[in-house]
Chains A and B, each alone.
Chain A
């Protein structure tokens, strides 16, 4: 009996010692954390300048329930530190932040155009090396000083980082023009066969910047964060911009269309003043490379379905031939998008369309030969588009309102 008691006490003592040795070594209370919701990277001649958008929890929580979000203290605060390397700059934050910066809830990463043109390798390396940093963070590119974006407030989203993320996530889901690219996706695309990638741009439209809660009390903000162009990357370096029309074309070729809405001329060929709106609900693209000697041809087969959302031409939509006519006009419009995008990326010699993967899959042996100077080969490809559009629905009203009006006057 005494032996078992002695044994038990010994075991308990061992456990207690363990507790003292290791106890609580990485314990951090919630009120010791500076929760970062967005980070920005800028590169100057001296090194990196990094800004952090830190959430102020008490400022956010106090707004709960009460409708007025204006006034009071700002829900976020922005720190900026510099250093020769990224992590050195981050570690300098202890000199000015009373709390430990915590990056696990970081939502977006904004990189300045300068830094992007210099190369993304350093940023990606930090993200993959740090256990705390999440690779599911969205990357955005900003022209000029990226920390300006961090200071900007949203009218409806208290946490601006979260707002930025939902802005780009929602856009890529509903309109497919600019893709929401996460760190790991970007890294995968620039080390893939094509060695290229795309990132969406964020900019501030209007002035002055909304970076105080007093400005939020107005019904219309003086400036807003907006998504702009699409940045093209060759390897880890940014090489240029695509406008939104070209970006939509890229989405068509790269089979990234989930939903998209665009206007198209619905009248007779050549007439461009009368427009209709088409909403794509389903679209798929197939890339079929064909090889004739040293010439490479790429067949781009696009199959699209959708609904008419708006119709300003006086047409009888019950007539199948009218629908066929409209489908032909839609086809032309999509071909325009695709051609414009193709021209843009061809001049940049940047394969963001997924051609490299298609060739590799189609003819692995041939790909090995092409691989060495793919950029040149890519620019030399002749592309053939084969677009089929199907209007699945015309909405609840079969005739355009204009048509109804004409009937009445007759």
Chain B
């Protein structure tokens, strides 16, 4: 990080302004406004500087310009420069966030953050008024993490909006929001959000330490932060969650997790995170517990399918034909008649084709979306089979794998299974089920060794924590989830709600009692 210099502000407004303009390269979007306030025209008593587009014009015009013009008489009559500054601060400027700054660097930083700077002739101090605003996207429905039942609001690119969305959900004085800026050039604002006494303080300190250790020029998305602070880089599994939904983030915070908001992206990081969290949707907690549990099992099953189905198909059809029921075997064999490549090559062709189609679908302009789906369905599905390039069963396997992949709520976990799938296919194609099992074994060993901010990645399963299992593969009804997950939250803040919350009809109605 570059050394913090401190340049004093010139007492002359004109030279101070000159210095600012020089530093910022005389940008056309830098607006200066001089107020003579009874002073000489070439030596205005008060000067306003701000950057157009970063400020809220209503605030600048109404709260600063208008007020200074109204009070120009009083300001002009002020005895000294410090007195004028005090007047401005206390009487004139109708802005909430006002700070007095002494250094030029501070002025530059504030300007770039959307503050308006008020310089007073003869004073070595300047006033920063927080008028940050400008154009940004409003709160809309999240595009990548949708639910049927639940709040429809999503995070935006503005860190202020995002923090307020969390604040609105947790009306507790214990909610802590620690700001810092990372990136020597971009000076991106980062907010670490957690609940004091519920989040484990050690983990909070660890996150702060890792964030402070980042020395880079730019942070443009939370992905940058994720790669800098995650526990292990060489793993297909993500050890931080990113969420676009305030309700999901708040749910995590209430369980003792810590959120990291990065300015400029709607994806907020959540840590520490365990394997099972990637298979939970915030909707699980809004729907009835039975269907939520069922859907979770479906998701875990889909993860296995998405990771293993092609490799199992290859392994069984090329090594273990005795495992297939005869009728199915005959029908598979009939489909394989006349297909030119071995099953493994066939599977690779189809998988790669699908990955290409998927990538094309993401990158393509939306207007061409339907075109690719037609081409994809025809090329992948029908024509390839009819031309005898691939067998119909392989198309079914690949498409089911692809569909299963979309079931996993967390996209970064879904991509993990996509990558592992290819390795498994090679193992299945060379060693059969033996290879697939070996691969799974290595995978399991690797997963057990993973940590997310010191928390074991496979937490409720290994090390086994029976009470945490209440909300992993199945979700028990809300009244049964009386404690927070062990190890993640502060041990002292274990209890979440009262016991005996199970609803029940009154033991006997008043009417019956009267009859006796």
Bound Cα distance from A105 to B331, whole angstroms? 14
Residues on B with beta carbons closer than 8 Å to the beta carbon of A55: 330, 333
B245 CB–A CB distance under 8 Å = no
* Shortest distance between the CB of A257 and any CB in chain B (Å): 30
Bound Cα distance from A58 to B431, whole angstroms? 28
Residues on B with beta carbons closer than 8 Å to the beta carbon of A24: 429-430
Within 8 A of A (CB), among B335-365: 335-339, 342-343
Bound Cα distance from A107 to B327, whole angstroms? 12
B123 CB–A CB distance under 8 Å = no
B7 CB–A CB distance under 8 Å = no
Bound Cα distance from A57 to B333, whole angstroms? 6
A28, A30, A64, A162, most chain B CB atoms within 10 A: A30
Residues on A with beta carbons closer than 8 Å to the beta carbon of B432: 26-27
Bound Cα distance from A47 to B317, whole angstroms? 36
A29 touching B318 by the CB < 8 A rule?
Answer: yes
Residues on B with beta carbons closer than 8 Å to the beta carbon of A26: 319, 432
* Shortest distance between the CB of B426 and any CB in chain A (Å): 8
A23 CB–B CB distance under 8 Å = yes
A30 touching B326 by the CB < 8 A rule?
Answer: no
A230 CB–B CB distance under 8 Å = no
* Shortest distance between the CB of A137 and any CB in chain B (Å): 12
| Chain A residue nearest in CB terms to B318 | A27
A30 touching B430 by the CB < 8 A rule?
Answer: no
A31 touching B326 by the CB < 8 A rule?
Answer: no
Bound Cα distance from A40 to B292, whole angstroms? 56
Bound Cα distance from A392 to B331, whole angstroms? 46
Within 8 A of A (CB), among B109-152: none
Within 8 A of B (CB), among A37-61: 37, 55, 57-58, 60-61
Given A61-B334, A104-B321, A105-B322, is A30 in contact with B429 using a C-beta cutoff of 8 Å? no
A216 CB–B CB distance under 8 Å = no
B342 touching A107 by the CB < 8 A rule?
Answer: no
A35 CB–B CB distance under 8 Å = yes
Bound Cα distance from A22 to B431, whole angstroms? 8
B333, B334, B337, B429, most chain A CB atoms within 10 A: B333
* Shortest distance between the CB of B315 and any CB in chain A (Å): 10
Residues on B with beta carbons closer than 8 Å to the beta carbon of A23: 430
What are the interface flags for B191-229 relative to A under an 8 Å C-beta threshold, 1 for contact and 0 otherwise? 000000000000000000000000000000000000000
A58 touching B334 by the CB < 8 A rule?
Answer: yes
Residues on B with beta carbons closer than 8 Å to the beta carbon of A22: 430-431
* Shortest distance between the CB of B149 and any CB in chain A (Å): 42
| Chain B residue nearest in CB terms to A60 | B330
Given A24-B430, A105-B326, A159-B326, is A30 in contact with B319 using a C-beta cutoff of 8 Å? no
A29 touching B342 by the CB < 8 A rule?
Answer: yes
B329 touching A31 by the CB < 8 A rule?
Answer: no
Residues on A with beta carbons closer than 8 Å to the beta carbon of B318: 27-30
Residues on A with beta carbons closer than 8 Å to the beta carbon of B319: 26-28
Bound Cα distance from A132 to B426, whole angstroms? 25
Bound Cα distance from A30 to B329, whole angstroms? 8
Among A31, A33, A132, A159, which residue has its beta carbon within 8 angstroms of that of B339?
A: A31
B332 CB–A CB distance under 8 Å = yes
Given A26-B319, A28-B321, A29-B343, is A35 in contact with B330 using a C-beta cutoff of 8 Å? yes
A57 touching B331 by the CB < 8 A rule?
Answer: yes
| Chain A residue nearest in CB terms to B314 | A27
Within 8 A of A (CB), among B416-474: 426, 429-432
Bound Cα distance from A55 to B334, whole angstroms? 10
| Chain A residue nearest in CB terms to B325 | A105
* Shortest distance between the CB of A53 and any CB in chain B (Å): 12
Residues on B with beta carbons closer than 8 Å to the beta carbon of A127: none
* Shortest distance between the CB of B204 and any CB in chain A (Å): 30
Residues on A with beta carbons closer than 8 Å to the beta carbon of B338: 31
B321, B330, B339, B426, most chain A CB atoms within 10 A: B330
A35 touching B333 by the CB < 8 A rule?
Answer: yes
Given A19-B430, A35-B333, is A27 in contact with B326 using a C-beta cutoff of 8 Å? no
Residues on A with beta carbons closer than 8 Å to the beta carbon of B336: 29-31
A31 touching B333 by the CB < 8 A rule?
Answer: yes
Bound Cα distance from A28 to B322, whole angstroms? 12
Residues on B with beta carbons closer than 8 Å to the beta carbon of A102: 321
Residues on A with beta carbons closer than 8 Å to the beta carbon of B426: 19
A57 touching B330 by the CB < 8 A rule?
Answer: yes
Bound Cα distance from A94 to B333, whole angstroms? 20
| Chain B residue nearest in CB terms to A102 | B321
Given A24-B430, A104-B322, is A61 in contact with B330 using a C-beta cutoff of 8 Å? yes
What are the interface flags for B280-297 relative to A under an 8 Å C-beta threshold, 1 for contact and 0 otherwise? 000000000000000000
Residues on A with beta carbons closer than 8 Å to the beta carbon of B335: 61
A105 touching B329 by the CB < 8 A rule?
Answer: yes
| Chain B residue nearest in CB terms to A106 | B326
Bound Cα distance from A22 to B435, whole angstroms? 12
Residues on B with beta carbons closer than 8 Å to the beta carbon of A134: 322
Bound Cα distance from A64 to B333, whole angstroms? 14
A23, A31, A64, most chain B CB atoms within 10 A: A31
| Chain A residue nearest in CB terms to B343 | A29
Bound Cα distance from A28 to B337, whole angstroms? 13
What are the interface flags for A10-31 relative to B under an 8 Å C-beta threshold, 1 for contact and 0 otherwise? 0000000001001110111111
B429 touching A58 by the CB < 8 A rule?
Answer: no
B334 touching A57 by the CB < 8 A rule?
Answer: yes
Residues on A with beta carbons closer than 8 Å to the beta carbon of B431: 22
Bound Cα distance from A19 to B427, whole angstroms? 9
Bound Cα distance from A153 to B326, whole angstroms? 18
Bound Cα distance from A37 to B329, whole angstroms? 12
* Shortest distance between the CB of B313 and any CB in chain A (Å): 11
Bound Cα distance from A35 to B334, whole angstroms? 11
* Shortest distance between the CB of A311 and any CB in chain B (Å): 42
* Shortest distance between the CB of A244 and any CB in chain B (Å): 30
A159 touching B321 by the CB < 8 A rule?
Answer: no
Bound Cα distance from A346 to B402, whole angstroms? 67
Within 8 A of B (CB), among A281-334: none
| Chain B residue nearest in CB terms to A64 | B331
A30 touching B321 by the CB < 8 A rule?
Answer: yes
B329 touching A60 by the CB < 8 A rule?
Answer: no
Residues on B with beta carbons closer than 8 Å to the beta carbon of A62: 334
Bound Cα distance from A60 to B326, whole angstroms? 12
A27 touching B342 by the CB < 8 A rule?
Answer: yes
Bound Cα distance from A119 to B513, whole angstroms? 86
| Chain B residue nearest in CB terms to A165 | B326
| Chain B residue nearest in CB terms to A161 | B326
Residues on B with beta carbons closer than 8 Å to the beta carbon of A64: 331
* Shortest distance between the CB of B183 and any CB in chain A (Å): 24
Bound Cα distance from A61 to B317, whole angstroms? 17
* Shortest distance between the CB of A27 and any CB in chain B (Å): 5
A33 touching B337 by the CB < 8 A rule?
Answer: no
B337 touching A35 by the CB < 8 A rule?
Answer: no
* Shortest distance between the CB of B446 and any CB in chain A (Å): 13
Residues on A with beta carbons closer than 8 Å to the beta carbon of B339: 31
* Shortest distance between the CB of B430 and any CB in chain A (Å): 5
Bound Cα distance from A30 to B321, whole angstroms? 8
What are the interface flags for B302-328 relative to A under an 8 Å C-beta threshold, 1 for contact and 0 otherwise? 000000000000000111011000110
| Chain A residue nearest in CB terms to B330 | A57
* Shortest distance between the CB of B441 and any CB in chain A (Å): 14
| Chain B residue nearest in CB terms to A31 | B336
> Could you list some 12 contacts between A and B, CB below 8 A?
A22-B430, A30-B336, A31-B339, A35-B330, A37-B326, A60-B334, A62-B334, A64-B331, A104-B321, A104-B322, A105-B321, A162-B327
Q: List the 8 shortest-distance A-B pairs measured between CB atoms, nearest first.
A: A61-B334, A104-B322, A57-B334, A57-B333, A30-B336, A30-B333, A31-B336, A23-B430
Given contacts A26-B432, A31-B338, 17 further A-B contacts (CB under 8 A): A23-B430, A24-B429, A27-B342, A27-B430, A27-B432, A30-B318, A30-B329, A33-B321, A35-B321, A35-B326, A35-B333, A60-B331, A104-B321, A104-B322, A105-B329, A159-B326, A159-B330
